[in-house]
Copies of this chain bind each other. A is one copy, B any other.
Amino acid sequence: MNITEMGKRAETAKYSLQSLAGEKKEQALLAAADLLVRESSNILAANAIDIKNGEEKGMHPGMLDRLRLSKERIADMAEGLRSIAGLPDCLQETIESFERPNGLKISKVRVPLGVIGIIYESRPNVTADAFGLCFKTGNAVILKGGSDAIHSNTEITRIIREALKTMSVTEDALQLITDTDRKTTAEFMKLNQYLDVLIPRGSAGLIRAVVENSTVPVIETGTGNCHIYVDDAADFEKAVPIIINAKTQRIGVCNACESLVIHEKIKEAFLPVLAKALRENHVEMRGDEAVCDVLEDCILASPEDYGTEYLDYIISIKTVAGVEEAVAHINRYGTRHSEAIITENETHAKLFKEGVDAACVYVNASTRFTDGFEFGLGAEIGISTQKLHARGPMGLKELTTYKYTVDGNGQIR
């Protein structure tokens, strides 16, 4: 099927989904979860082909691990859908309503976005997860997964569509683009007539390609060159565990800390304490001259280091003269994701919170909390690093928009 035809089907589906009762959606999500578990062996068989193809072309072991499914991973996928089913339905909520002097009654009502496109890479669990979030919010979704996972994604999609059919819900609530050539992806990114938004999920390269080539509105997610600034008024007993947590609890994620900014006044007192903890956690340090003067095993940082999202056991360290310089450094090198200050000084905390241009700004806490579940949103479609529509962790509400309904009795201008 060509992309335009898929767009048309999604459009038809969106009108049927926008008025689907919350209970019906819940039942359909549970049915999809059950069927995924029941058909585990079929999913595993399809996944085995993807894994074999991946091995044959020498795929990196980390990539193979992301691609690989197991009974447990399929059970987790199903559990994810059940958990989405149980979340409250935010549709039809009246966000605001007011009456104008001429008697017009205006209501701002939450409605689905309509048709959502999602482009992602090798993890097949995104297929079920993205469907669940879009479906719960009354949206039709068109998915474009990585070609490496095409057999797994096709099978997961077939099963979910079958579950929808048995529940008398339009199967076109979920469509998967199975054509893996670049031309199709290019067409998808320009499908403005049918797509209301396009969300890339994956590597920095994927996200950049979508931002640069899409004419459909994009929600940019992902890259995080996150900093922790240790102020001269920092409590070292908070600073060290926060830094170790933010750097090492999970190194490959966007909210991990990649760079430290240290007040020059505390370099002699703080850096040796910190370095000991970093060494114990096998983290390589790359600092400026002031840092290297204090720490013998610190590598001299290049300017590129400050702009690098390592996603590895490496951290850059920069000394500054105070909170203003810290803010300027972070605004220069940060990716508008998550930034933290460690300080007991309220004025410094306030300057930092106001000055730093990022989705989430922390005082005395780990940047790792930037996450839909940690924020209590109950779900997460990604972390937005742009400023339009949604910023920071995006939950279900961020997959909706509003419309104004206006009730009159003959008003004219």
Indicate if the CB atoms of B374 and A388 lie closer than 8 Å. no
The answer to whether A19 has its CB under 8 Å from any CB of chain B is: yes
Contact of A357 among B114, B358, B412 (CB under 8 A): B114
The answer to whether A313 has its CB under 8 Å from any CB of chain B is: no
Looking at chain A's contact residues, the main secondary structure is mixed
Interface size on A, residues (CB 8 A): 69
Given contacts A369-B104, A376-B98, contact A364 B404 (CB under 8 A): no
- A80-123: contact bitstring with B at CB < 8 Å (1 yes, 0 no)? 00000000000000000010100010100000011000000000
Q: How far is the CA of A358 from the CA of B220 in the complex (A)?
A: 25
Indicate if the CB atoms of A403 and B360 lie closer than 8 Å. yes
The answer to whether A185 has its CB under 8 Å from any CB of chain B is: no
Q: How far is the CA of A392 from the CA of B235 in the complex (A)?
A: 48
The answer to whether A359 has its CB under 8 Å from any CB of chain B is: yes
Indicate if the CB atoms of B218 and A358 lie closer than 8 Å. no
- Ordered by A's residue number, 27 sampled pairs between the chains whose C-beta atoms are within 8 Å are A14-B357, A18-B354, A18-B355, A18-B357, A98-B376, A100-B374, A114-B357, A197-B388, A212-B215, A217-B386, A238-B409, A241-B410, A242-B411, A249-B413, A349-B407, A359-B403, A359-B404, A360-B405, A362-B408, A365-B407, A365-B410, A365-B411, A366-B413, A368-B412, A370-B404, A392-B403, A392-B404
The answer to whether A353 has its CB under 8 Å from any CB of chain B is: yes
Q: Which residue of chain B lies nearest to A384 when distances are taken between CB atoms in the complex?
A: B401
Indicate if the CB atoms of B388 and A401 lie closer than 8 Å. yes
Question: How many copies of this kind of chain does the complex include?
Answer: 2
Contacts of A238 in B (CB 8 A): 409-410
The answer to whether A211 has its CB under 8 Å from any CB of chain B is: yes
Q: How far is the CA of A220 from the CA of B410 in the complex (A)?
A: 30
Indicate if the CB atoms of B392 and A389 lie closer than 8 Å. no
Contacts of A14 in B (CB 8 A): 357
How far is the CB of A329 from the nearest CB of chain B, in Å? 13
Contacts of A349 in B (CB 8 A): 407
Indicate if the CB atoms of B197 and A387 lie closer than 8 Å. yes
Indicate if the CB atoms of B242 and A100 lie closer than 8 Å. no
Indicate if the CB atoms of A375 and B242 lie closer than 8 Å. no
The answer to whether A42 has its CB under 8 Å from any CB of chain B is: no
Q: How far is the CA of A229 from the CA of B211 in the complex (A)?
A: 39
Q: A368-B413, A389-B389, A391-B402 are in contact. List 20 more A-B contacts (CB 8 A).
A: A98-B376, A104-B369, A106-B375, A113-B388, A217-B388, A235-B410, A242-B410, A358-B403, A359-B403, A359-B404, A360-B405, A360-B406, A361-B406, A363-B407, A364-B409, A365-B409, A366-B413, A368-B412, A388-B389, A391-B404
